[in-house]
Structure 1
Amino acid sequence: MMRTILMRAKPTQILAGFALLWVLGVGVAWVFGKECGVSFLLGYGAFGVIMSGSFLHIRRQLWLAQNTSQTTHSQDSHDDLQSTESTQANKNTDQTIQTDKSAKIPPLSRFVVGTKLSFSLMRVVGYVLFLAGIGGLLYYDMLMPTGLFAGITIAVVYVVGVGVSVLKSSD
């Protein structure tokens, strides 16, 4: 169920909301000064890319898992047609195997999955953008921590809010 929920998010609406918040935040930040506005832009844009990269990577992994489970399910359905008695035994065996697999995930595979999530292309680009922006703001003496943290906070709240609204809309 969770897999299909994440597939229903409309990218154009999400991007439009993200851009609207960006414009509104920049308008408010410009009231406090140019430095605050630029710092807000950096925090909001970079962390928006980082959080969206995480969301899209997880969404892709769930899509891949759903496709592989559908393939496995169609093979199981073919086997079910052959014999009802063997089906009951297969289901019990499959449930036992799935329970054992979920309970005993090797640490190396956990590490690999975590590494793939941490080093997705959008996240790396977002962090490079963020570090380069911080360096540029420091070089030109324009870094305003208040604007930067406001942008980071709004970006994180927006992306998490989109995830929660997608979950609630599917209920």
Structure 2
Amino acid sequence: MHVRSARIFAGFVLLGVLGGSVAGVAGRECGMSFFLGYGAFGVIMSGLFLHIKHQLGLASDRDVPQCAADKQNKTSLQAQHSCDETLNPKDKKPSYPSRFIVGVKLSFSFVRIFGYVLFLVGVGGLLYYDMFMPTGLFVGVTLAMVYMIGVGVYVAGGRQDRK
């Protein structure tokens, strides 16, 4: 697992360096704006993925022991039915307050907040020094978004192969 994470991080850095080099050809201002957009958006999306992964890991850890305890106390048919209800989210729709709480927890991830602060301070600094180039910023954010979506597809594909 650590090797996969290292590859993903190395790919992100390599793509950032290549994209920054290309943007740097257009000018120092464009390169700085690119690095700001690419880096800040990468931190924001990484924080989102890590928080979702943590929440899903906690949810699966809570459900599995409950099913194991049910299997010990009930007959096998009753236990299987209760585990299927617990693990199948299509049957039960979560209440509005629980969905709201999950959304608030997702919004207030420390890494995401740090990414937004980094982004705002960076944009303010670029504006202060007259180095802000919206084109470079947009290209950086777009490239980071494409990379993060690719990582999500890569990780989801690897997870389906293991099942």
How many pairs does the alignment contain? 160
> Which residue of structure 1 aligns with residue 148 of structure 2?
159
In structure 2, the gaps of 5 or more residues are none
| Residue among 3, 12, 37 paired with 2:6 | 12
Question: Could you tell me the TM-score, scaled by structure 1's length?
Answer: 0.84
The percentage of counterpart residues that share the same residue type is 53
In structure 1, C-alpha distance between the alignment counterparts of 2:137 and 2:119, rounded to whole Å: 10
Give distance in 1, aligned partners of 2:53 and 2:133.
34
Amino acid across the alignment from 2:116: Y
Question: 1:50, 1:67 → 2: CA distance?
Answer: 26
AA partner of residue 59 (structure 1): K
Q: Which one has the largest radius of gyration?
A: 1
Report the Cα distance in structure 2 between the residues aligned to 1:165 and 1:135, rounded to whole angstroms.
35
Q: 1:115 to 1:140 in 2, by over 3 A?
A: same
Q: Which has the higher contact order (CA 8 A, sep 6+)?
A: 1
Structure 2 residue 67 is matched with structure 1 residue 78: no
Query: Cα RMSD (Å) of the superposition?
Result: 2.3
Structure 2 counterpart of 1:24, from 18, 24, 36: 18
User: Among 37, 54, 61, which residue is 1:60 paired with?
Assistant: 54
Contact 2:24 2:30 in 1 (8 A): yes
1:110 aligned residue: 99
Q: TM-score, normalised by structure 2?
A: 0.87
1:3 is aligned to none
Partners of 2:91 and 2:44 lie apart in 1 by 29
How far 1:26 moved relative to its partner?
A: 1.0
SS in 2 for 1:105: coil
> CA–CA distance in 1 between the matches of 2:91 and 2:110?
28
Structure 1 pair 65–9 and aligned structure 2 pair: CA distance change class (3 A): farther
Q: CA deviation at 1:101?
A: 9.1
**Which residues of structure 1 form unaligned runs of 5+?**
1-6, 81-85
